[in-house]
Amino acid sequence: MSRQTTIAAGAMTEGGAEPILSVRDLTKHFPIKKGIFGRVGGAVRAVDGVSFDVAAGETLAVVGESGCGKSTTGRAILRLIEPTSGSVRFNGQDVLALGAGELRALRRQLQIVFQDPFSSLNPRMSIGAIVREGLTIHGLAEGAAADARVKQLLEEVGLRPEYASRYPHEFSGGQRQRVGIARALSVEPKFIVCDEPVSALDVSVQAQVVNLLQDLQRDRGLSYLFIAHDLSIVEHIADRVAVMYLGHIVELAPVQAMYSRPIMPYTQALLSAVPAPEPGVKRERILLAGDVPSPANPPSGCVFHPRCQHPARDAACAAIVPPLEEKAPGHWAACIKQPPSVVSWEAQRAAGGTNPPDFYLPVSALHRSADGAPRAHAFTPPR
Amino acid sequence: MTAPPLLELDDLHTFFYTDTGVARSVDGVSFSVGAGETVGVVGESGCGKSVTALSILRLVRAPGRIEPGSAIRFEGKDLMTLDEGEMQHIRGNRIAMVFQEPMTALNPVFTVGEQIAEVARIHGGMSRKEARAKAVEMLTLVGIPAPEQRAGEYPHQLSGGMRQRVVIAMALVMNPALIIADEPTTALDVTIQAQILELMADLTRRLGTSILLITHDLGVVAENCSRVIVMYAGEVVEEATAVELFGRAHMPYTEGLLGAMPRVGGESERLATIPGTVPPPTAWPAGCRFRDRCPYSWDRCEREHPPLYQIGAGHTSRCHLAEEPEHRNHPHPPLAAQRGASAA
């Protein structure tokens, strides 16, 4: 069952700002082939109806556990894999309708930085050549001008310009990730999809790369789609956060609201599971039972219902697909048991519901106490 | 400190003889683990924490070698003096290991029940039937639902968290005195990590097993360990109780690690960084090995290799600041940062 497009363009940015990227009902189903004739016997619903907006200069983080579809979402936006359906608009352009030439032109503005700094750089190319490739392909600079630009880019990401003639194996993980960032920056993009850019790095190096990404954003007004599983990094870098579970966005909110007053029970459990570097402080922890179900055979209704800790969980949760709805200004969540919801109690009862919706917030399990209503987030899009 | 500790490393040196020189991966490490204690070893890639773990079990392969003069005392025996047969008995019976990646620790062509039963037959001398029952019992102990059915499944049929539970079940079969867990939750998602750490804490409470928990994640250490050992460049650079370490870190490297870590609920705008990189293990610098990356270093740090100073009860730090604390008042950009564009 896929949801109708009900969310207007721009409705999902902070304060209704004009989005640079607008994604609606994006799906990616990977067919499961059976037998020697490759008969399609089902589909892995990796991304199953995802909608969000990113404003210019904003960082939207997408978090979730392995297999939730966050990386697939990032790649589908860039059309590194072709989405099954949905729409992606970048700067008003319909990305999914573009031909090969137009797509290449688009990728000047829309770049990606990959997780693994070891496999994402060609070992046979010097890092100068790696950074220069984009300049050549897009016809931005040639000859001495290109050399100068490469050196400038390397300096900008904190590498020495004379490193241009060296090869990737001569560099550490953090340095390689800087090369990956310089390569993305070479074509002067407006938007970068960062796919777990610091997950493979040690803590101290991770901090260097995070600071670099923040500096570049400030200086160039970049927008980021920051895909990550580390919730502490995300709180540090993001303006808004989208939580994914089994191919769905289950919650989307400004970072402070998300961390102080998570609405969706899955987000609550996720936040409670983060180990806190405060020895002696014992927090309650929401321990989820079992594992994430297979995306080839997702649960009916709310995909999280078999593991959900909400006290009002009932048969209606297994029957009704919860819409991603705005529960508080700018705070979207998909849960029919957390009021307000467009799915009325009457409708829930008709679907077998026995427990009326009742707001649930396990404060003692979260890292900081809830401070009442979500605060207005101090995000101002650059002019 | 009346009873001797369960495990005691004394001046452990493990070197690797490579084409590019001798890598002094573990270079004079001493620490102990008491009975029933959970001790954390933290440090970044290449600090020598995993090689330390392998050395305890004498699993270092050529070109690596545990150098003469190293002592590994366990339950009153020096493991360095045992022959391979006696060592086999220690491994699995008294000390068990849990690795980072459960898929590589399990054999893909045997069911998980057979693999657990194998431990019980080889190390415990049980019959096939007893061993099978034991396997089911262990799977129950580590909280695997429908253990009888799961015992007949292959590793690929289980999720990552389930596999790690199976590996822990295998480690516990002979009720060892010590479990060495090398990044046991690094490959797992955060909610599954919470399950596994809860399980390990519960098992130590019930069985009294000691755990040496090797990790890079300071949050995991804070929540699970009573004592923490920080390693850098093949050495122990700081040791303290967890509360002491997170509240009053002394060694600038430890401070740097804590500052570089974003915290959920933290307010800081910009993360602290440690400029530069760990030097290669084939060429540790003379003097303090952290000097180039340290904001307080002075000429003494270049001349003199710092010993582990006792700076409080159960708190040691490998930093000359213990003797000359006034240098803490004059922070400067570390040499690694001064040398121009940083090298991440």
Give the model's pLDDT for residue A148. 94
B344 — pLDDT class (breaks 50, 70, 90): very low
Q: Do B189 and A276 lie within an 8 Å CB cutoff?
A: no
Determine the distance in angstroms separating the CA of A346 from the nearest CA of chain B, rounded to an integer.
34
Residue B261, CA distances (Å) to A159, A207, A341, A371, B39 in order: 23, 7, 38, 24, 21
State how far residue A318 is from chain B, nearest Cα, in angstroms. 22
Residue that is written with structure tokens 């019992």 in the block: B137
Rounded to 5°, the CA angle A32-A38-A44 comes to 5
Token code pair at residue B31: 């620490």
Give me the mean pLDDT over the A252-281 stretch. 89
Contact call for B272 and A231, based on CB within 8 A: no
CA distance A74 to B272: 29
Conformational region of residue B339, where left means phi above 0, alpha means psi within -120 to 50, and beta covers everything else:
alpha
Cβ-nearest to B222 among A159, A269, A279: A279
Beta-carbon contacts of residue A270 (< 8 Å; ≥ 6 apart): A63, A65, A231, A243, B190, B191
B201 touches chain A (CB under 8 A): no
Which residue bears the tokens 């194996």? A169
Cα–Cα distance between A64 and A71 in angstroms, integer? 10
Q: Which of B194, B270, B343 sits opposite A287 (nearest CB)?
A: B194
> Picking from A13-17, B142-146, B187-191, B330-334, which range would have the lowest pLDDT averaged per residue?
A13-17
Write down the pLDDT at residue A216. 92
Which value, in Å, is the radius of gyration of the alpha carbons in chain A? 22
- Sign of the CA dihedral with A254 first, then A257, A258, and A262 last: negative
In angstroms, the CA A183 to CA B300 distance is: 42
Model pTM score: 0.85
Mean pLDDT, residues B118-133 = 92
- Whether the pLDDT of residue B162 is over 60: the answer is yes
Residues on chain B touching A273 (C-beta within 8 angstroms) = 190-191, 193-194
Arithmetic mean of pLDDT, A62-81: 92
- Contacting residues of A for B242, CB less than 8 Å apart: 279-280
Do B173 and B118 contact (CB within 8 A), yes or no? Answer: no
Contacts of A203 in chain B (CB under 8 A): 44, 216, 218, 257, 260-261
Rounded Cα–Cα distance for residues A102 and A105 (Å):
5
Which residues fall within 8 angstroms of residue B194, CB to CB, at 6 or more apart?
A272, A273, A275, A285, A287
| Span A297-308, average pLDDT | 94
Note whether A64 and A70 are within 8 A (CB). yes
Average pLDDT over residues B8-18: 95
**Tokens at residue B161, please?**
């968290």
Q: Which of A157, A159, A202, A243 to mutate to test the interface with B (most CBs of B within 10 A)?
A: A202
Q: Does B198 touch chain A (CB under 8 A)?
A: yes
CA distances from B339 to A159, A184, B293, B334, B335 (A): 12, 26, 11, 9, 6
Q: Do the Cβ atoms of B66 and B25 come closer than 8 Å?
A: no
Comparing CB atoms, the residue among B44, B161, B246 nearest residue A202 is: B44
End-to-end CA distance of chain A: 40
B300 touches chain A (CB under 8 A): no
Question: Could you tell me the CA-to-CA distances from A92 to A15, A20, A101, A200, B328 in Å, in that order?
Answer: 19, 8, 18, 34, 55
Nearest CA-CA partner of B223 in A207, A285, A172: A285
Question: Which contacts qualify for A74-80: CB closer than 8 Å, 24 or more apart?
Answer: A74/A112, A74/A193, A74/A195, A74/A225, A74/A227, A75/A112, A75/A193, A75/A195, A76/A26, A76/A28, A76/A47, A77/A21, A77/A23, A77/A26, A77/A110, A77/A193, A77/A225, A78/A107, A78/A110, A78/A112, A78/A193, A79/A103, A80/A112
Tokens read off for B162:
């389930």
A213-234 pLDDT, tens digit per residue, is 999 999 999 999 999 988 888 9
CB B249 within 8 A of CB B311: no
Q: With bands split at pLDDT 50, 70 and 90, how would you rate the model's confidence at A9?
A: low
- Measured between CB atoms, which of B192, B264, B270 is closest to A211? B270
Average pLDDT in chain A: 87
Summarised one tens digit per residue, pLDDT across range B23-81 is 999 999 999 999 999 999 998 888 999 999 999 999 999 899 999 999 999 999 999 99
Specify the amino acid at residue A256.
Q
Give A268's contacts (C-beta < 8 A, 6+ positions apart). A262, A286, A309, A361, A362, A365, A366
Prior bond of B63 cis (ω within 30°): yes
| ipTM entry | 0.79
Q: Judge whether B230 and B251 are in contact, CB under 8 Å.
A: yes
Signed CA dihedral, B55, B229, B240, A283: sign only = negative
Beta-carbon separation of B192 and A291 below 8 A: yes
What SS3 state is found at B106? Answer: coil
Q: How many CA atoms lie within 13 A of A256 on its CB side?
A: 12
* HSE-CB for A263 with a 13 A CA cutoff: 34
- In chain B, whose CA is at the least distance from the CA of A210? B271
Can you count the helices (H) and strands (E) in chain B? 13, 13
Other beta carbons within 10 angstroms of residue B168's beta carbon come to: 23
Q: Is B254 touching A (CB cutoff 8 A)?
A: no
pLDDT, position B288:
96
Q: What is the pLDDT of residues A332-344, one digit of tens each?
A: 999 999 999 999 9
Residue B301 has pLDDT above 60, yes or no: yes
Report how far residue B195's alpha carbon sits from residue A288's, in angstroms, rounded to the nearest whole number. 8
The CA-based angle B160-B163-B168, given to 5 degrees, is: 130
